[in-house]
Structure 1
Amino acid sequence: MLTVGDKLPIFDLKSVVSANQSDDFAQINNETDADKWKILFFWPKDFTFVCPTEIAAFGQLNSDFKERNAVIYGISTDSEYVHLAWRQHHPDLNILPFPMLSDIKREFSSALGILHQQEGVCLRATFIVDPQGIIRFVSVNDLSVGRNPHEVLRVLDGLQTEELCPCNWQKGDAVLSVA
């Protein structure tokens, strides 16, 4: 699995950016939002139970990430058409403010090393990538346990200070100084 300090692999994926059929699909790659921090979070399967709780929670924090020059990309191995159907039929995903990317060939998730060995789906992996394309944070959960988007936002805040941030540090708190 790729980790902190590694370069994000090249990717070019179809995505669903809206539940409206007139403007529903877009292509997203490494150059999209090149000057921004990227929050990439992967989930196992569409039309499941834990996944929409995480996706909706990231959606609720989208403006907070945006204020920090960060974009959110949600990704699974389902097709863009499955993503679209899920967005259209799940009330918490209908107005999702970020794209859902399709890694149907499993090339991107394989390059990151986050495919579940038995199931062949993405683990609940989260990556924070800086504007230079360097992975600065990685977290991976078991398939059955959802992640905490507030913690991802807290870590992004800490990374953006470029300072030493103690345990449980929150934006606005004092950072550590080396004496």
Structure 2
Amino acid sequence: MENKIVNIGNQFPEFEKTAVVSLEKGKEFATITSEDHKKEGEWLVLFWWPKDFTFVCPTEIAEFNKNYQEFRDRDAVLVGASTDSEFVHLAWRKDHEDLRDLKFPMLADTSKSLAEELGILEANEKVAYRATFIVDPQGTIRWVSAYDLNVGRNVKEVIRVLDALQTDELCPCNWEKGEETLTA
């Protein structure tokens, strides 16, 4: 079976999934949908990792969490996801020091349906690649990045791309927020 990643310019697929949103008893889980960010006119940054209770994944999740306010300052909703269940997410959050105080939901794509529809399901293990999607307030995918299972991504680059997309202007190579954009 050939993977076809849902790409830039496509509408992000509709979904409704359970996510871990808290460690507080009775408030651990919530339903997250593809429509949630649109209601507030916000951007969506959805990043995937292969498996809970692994080694590279918590370094990425912790780094996204450290930069949570950077995403909020840019009117972006941050959501993490994997194909593990909400119960595995919860156990991992309780077990791992760097994950206890997450400020964003951990989406459970237990059926693997969303990962499959996005084209990011690894063929052999059926886990998600390290993929990141930036989706605009209208639900259009504006940026996709995917990494091999063994390589962690650069969260600062995700923020840089979000900044560039939000200018709605031409941004040259290595452009950083505050720098001049190009005129055609």
Scaled to the shorter chain, the TM-score interval is over 0.9
1:11 equivalent among 12, 15, 24: 15
Listed as ranges, the matches of 1:109-148 within 5 Å are 109-148=115-154
> CA shift at 1:8, angstroms?
0.4
Q: Is structure 2 residue 44 aligned with structure 1 residue 38? A: yes
Q: Secondary structure at the match of 1:33?
A: helix
Letter in 2 for 1:31: E
Q: How many aligned positions are there?
A: 178
**Structure 1 partner of 2:80:** 74
Identity of aligned residues (%): 55
1 CA distance for matches of 2:90 and 2:65? 16
1:160 aligns with 2:163: no
Choose which of 101, 106, 109 in structure 1 pairs with 2:112.
106
Q: Deviations over 1:68-116 (max 9, x none)?
A: 0001110000000000011111110000000000000011011101000
The one-letter code sitting in structure 1 at the alignment partner of 2:125 is E
Structure 1 residue 12: Cα displacement: 0.4
TM-score by length of 2: 0.95
Quote the offset at 1:119 in angstroms. 1.1
4+ residue runs of structure 1 moved beyond 4 angstroms?
none
Question: What residue is the counterpart of 2:63 in the other structure?
Answer: 57
SS at match of 2:99: coil
* TM-score relative to the length of structure 1: 0.98
1:89 equivalent to 2:65? Answer: no
CA deviations on 1:125-149 (whole Å, 9 max, x unpaired) are 0000000000000000000000011
Extract unaligned runs of 5+ from structure 2.
none
- RMSD, aligned α-carbons: 0.7
Indicate the residue corresponding to 2:31 in structure 1: 27
